[in-house]
Amino acid sequence: MDETISIVLFSGTDDKLMSAATLAAGAAALGKPVKIFLQYWGLNAFRAAGIDTDHGLAPEAGEVGKAAVEAAARAGMATWVQTLRMAKELGEVDIQACSASMDIFKLKQADLDPLVDGVEGVAAFYINAGEGQIVFI
């Protein structure tokens, strides 16, 4: 059985980035290889210059959701960036930027945070995903 978990990270708000980071970190802790493929707003959030800034929340958060997330952050809940860094230290987590999204935003790998390991196209993504599960966020 292929244990690899492949996460397509399309969304760029902090709640969805945290959701992806949690799934990645959990799989890494269980010893499963993890691949994260960054597209569109997910990729945009990994710009070196802005990775630690506020990326907002999904529209359904509303005021109550926003207050709850902000309270958790103040209470010291790890950010998605910290969670991903820890996951990479502990397990096998490979983060690749989608080459088409790189073109759209006119990005080079040097513009991205060092968490990103490389740039690849969709065919390489599928080959690396193998027979494992694919999650879209």
Partner 1 sequence: MDIKLKVDASGLSCPLPILRATQGMKTIATGELMEVVATDPGSVKDMAAWASSTGHTLVEQDSANGKFRFVLRHK
112: β partners: 47
Provide the minimum distance between the beta carbon of 32 and partner 1 in the complex, in angstroms, as a whole number.
8
Question: CA-CA distance, 6 to 136, in Å (whole number)?
Answer: 9
Q: Which residues bind partner 1 (CB under 8 A)?
A: 22, 25-26, 28-31, 72, 76-78, 83, 86-87, 89-91
Q: Which residues contact 102 (CB under 8 A, 6 or more apart)?
A: 43, 108, 109, 119
Q: Which is nearer to partner 1, 31 or 130 (CB)?
A: 31
Q: Which is nearer to partner 1, 26 or 65 (CB)?
A: 26
CA distance 22 to 132: 18
Give min distance, CB of 134 to partner 1, in A: 20
Of 28 and 98, which CB lies nearer to partner 1 in the complex structure? 28
